[in-house]
Chains A and B, each alone.
Chain A
Amino acid sequence: MEGDATAVICLRGTPVSPGLARGPLIIVADDTQSASREGGSAEEEAARMHAAIASASVELETLMERAGDDDAQTILAFQVAMLADPVVAEPAFAAIGRGDRAEDAWRATMRLQIRHYHEADDLYFRARASDLRDMRDRVLRKLNGVAATPIAPGSIVVATDLPPSRFLEIAWDGGGVALRHGSPNSHVAMLARSRGVPMLIGVEDADLCGHTEAIIDTDNAILVLSPDDKLAVDFASRQQGAEILRAEAERYLNVAAATANGERVQILINVADATELDAFDPAWCDGIGLVRTELMLRDANDVVSEEKQYQSYCRILRWANGRPVTIRTLDAGGDKPVAGYTIDGEANPFLGMRGLRLSLLHPEVFITQLRALARAALLGPLKIMVPMVTSPRELDRAGALLDGAVAALRRQGIGCARPELGMMVEVPAAALAIDLFEADFLSIGSNDLIQYVTASSRDSSPLAPLQDPLQPAVLRLIREVVQRAEAQGISVSLCGDMASDVRCIPALLGVGLRSLSVAPSAVARVKAAIARYRVNEPKE
């Protein structure tokens, strides 16, 4: 392969931010190695240290000014604040006083602090280790007097890892990133997603010498070096196709969803954290079909207080501004264990204590949540949805607890309203006998429904072919639920991944669904898919 720079190489990676990108290849090597150098006097070394910190701070502040979004600003503000804190460099200056070179003193000081974060139990604090490495390297480059590798706009950047502040320095303009290491939860992955920069992590190692051009293709999870004409043409046509689809979808974002022959479809969104709503205009949807509340319980000793829950529900209702908001009560268990709350050591947690079953086992936690929800219901059309309902008795018990919570609030003179109480339809026993449940509304949880109907675990990839959402067994069951709900005059929606998958839209509309709850990022494309569908046409 020596010298043959035109040979195509395809390297596999894991996509963490979707897209297609093609551009000049830039390899970012570790540029923080210090050259061997005689140290100066302690005063000279201390002055170099001060100057490097000051100059790194100025760069970070400039970046911060143009960072634009809140996440990027926090990442940079943390580094700026750390560099401004004399405590950070104190041990380095002490070592310089003992005769160390500035770069060695800085490395040793930062090594200890990075390790301190790296050893944290809490994932958030552990992730700060990478911010400190980023900060360490910027100061080291200043000490070494080297500028960071310049990166032209639109480049395909290949590196072992890319620190967030480096990412923010680059004008991406259609470029992309491929990292040999990296994690989907890293700051740089998050930034790539929010800025629409295609990114692969865990890319295979290879000799990149001689290659000058590359393609990142997250559809196929590959980095292509020196693409030949055939690959380049294929890429260009796919990129054009993707661009047309994206532009088309954007046109639908602002418009109420309707089929090709004008039948209105309600589009709701799924939300796990109120901060997701910051970037989403409520006018783009008809309300919220699923608010997950699992974030409120970390362990049994750490239940978010009624007051705190009340405030976060109020924030969501104020955002919705009169649109309906369906909040699901705590859905722990299964793949979401909570220490001291869920049951340890169950042989099959998906068939064990989860969802409403656990809420009825821990009524004190459940009642706290019901109280907060009933209070927030004064602000708008809030609906309560309980997960994993199997028998009508469970729903009746939840209803009795809700009535009790409302009565207790009224006795205490606390303002509240009794919200509608609906259920997730995800257990086949409930789906098959849905007319026996006295629910105010239904929402089909297709992810669990498919898992239970096909008796195949969601987290098993060899079983994935059995879990085709479009198979007749699943669609017949959904149709059954939709028809029964219509006959009884109660509303029904679907909030699983199927609703966000444009391939499933014709089938879901075909079985009669007229309300879908989707991921915020899927709203535009789902509306576009609905607009392509003509009711009463033979199914696609």
Chain B
Amino acid sequence: MTSESMNVGALPRARSCAVLTHEGGLHARPAIKLTQLAKRFESAVWIALAEQGPWTDAKSIARVMAMKTPHMATLYFVAEGEDADAATSALANLVESDFADDDNGR
């Protein structure tokens, strides 16, 4: 995982990335977790399969599922807002921990 902060324009901006080790890819269960986490932040959060985009709204389950992300893809996150830094590192952590939480991500 890499994470960096930037300060372009008025709002703080941050990026991160992580490899999707979840078996089978970004399926419904991990995608629900990812969008739910993204929605907890005030910042606008985007997700992409390449460093240069195209970018997808990480708070939309429909858009995130439509990416049909395969196993071992690298996911890139960009956030813009007061809590951008926290958002991008939380999302990268979630992916990196294989969506682990109270129920082991399953």
Contact = CB atoms under 8 A, between A and B. Distances in A.
Interface of A: 70, 74-75, 77-78, 81-82, 84-88, 113, 116, 120, 122, 124-125, 128, 131, 275, 278, 295, 298, 302, 304-305, 308
A113 B65 CA distance: 11
Contacts of A88: 62
B28 A305 contact: no
Given A128-B28, A305-B21, 19 more contacts: A74-B29, A77-B29, A78-B28, A82-B61, A85-B62, A87-B60, A88-B62, A113-B62, A120-B68, A122-B70, A124-B24, A124-B27, A125-B65, A131-B28, A275-B106, A295-B23, A298-B71, A302-B71, A304-B21
19 contacts: A74-B29, A74-B32, A77-B32, A78-B32, A81-B32, A81-B35, A81-B36, A86-B60, A113-B62, A120-B68, A122-B70, A125-B65, A125-B68, A128-B28, A131-B28, A275-B106, A278-B106, A295-B23, A304-B21
Interface residues of B, number: 23
Nearest to A125: B68
Given A70-B106, A87-B57, A122 B63 contact: no
B32 A122 contact: no
Nearest to B24: A124
Contacts of A308: 21
Contacts of B10: none
Nearest to B60: A87
B32 A87 contact: no
A77 B21 contact: no
Given A74-B29, A122-B25, A87 B72 contact: no
A88 B36 CA distance: 16
Nearest to A77: B32
Contacts of B8: none
Contacts of A278: 106
Q: Which of A120, A122, A275, A278 has the most C-beta atoms of chain B within 10 angstroms of its own C-beta?
A: A122
Contact of A85 (B23, B61, B72): B61
Nearest to B23: A295
Contacts of B70: 122
Contacts of A77: 28-29, 32
A82 B70 CA distance: 20
B40 to A, nearest CB: 14
Contact of B66 (A116, A275, A295, A298): A116
Contacts of B66: 116
Nearest to B66: A116
A86 B29 CA distance: 19
B61 to A, nearest CB: 4
Contacts of A122: 25, 68, 70
B19 to A, nearest CB: 9
Contacts of A82: 61-62
A81 to B, nearest CB: 4
Closest 8 pairs between A and B when the two form their complex, measured CB to CB: A78-B28, A81-B61, A87-B62, A87-B60, A125-B68, A85-B62, A88-B62, A74-B29
B55 to A, nearest CB: 14
B28 A85 contact: no
Contacts of A84: 61
Interface string B71-100: 110000000000000000000000000000
Contacts of B62: 82, 85, 87-88, 113
Contacts of B29: 74, 77
A518 B36 CA distance: 40
B18 to A, nearest CB: 13
A319 to B, nearest CB: 12
A125 B66 CA distance: 9
A122 B28 CA distance: 13
A532 B61 CA distance: 54
Nearest to A278: B106
Contacts of B60: 85-87
Q: Which of B32, B61, B62 has the most C-beta atoms of chain A within 10 angstroms of its own C-beta?
A: B62
Contacts of A275: 106
Contacts of A298: 71
A290 B68 CA distance: 32
Contacts of A86: 60
B30 to A, nearest CB: 10
A70 B28 CA distance: 12
Nearest to B104: A315
A302 B73 CA distance: 10
A125 B71 CA distance: 12
Nearest to A296: B23
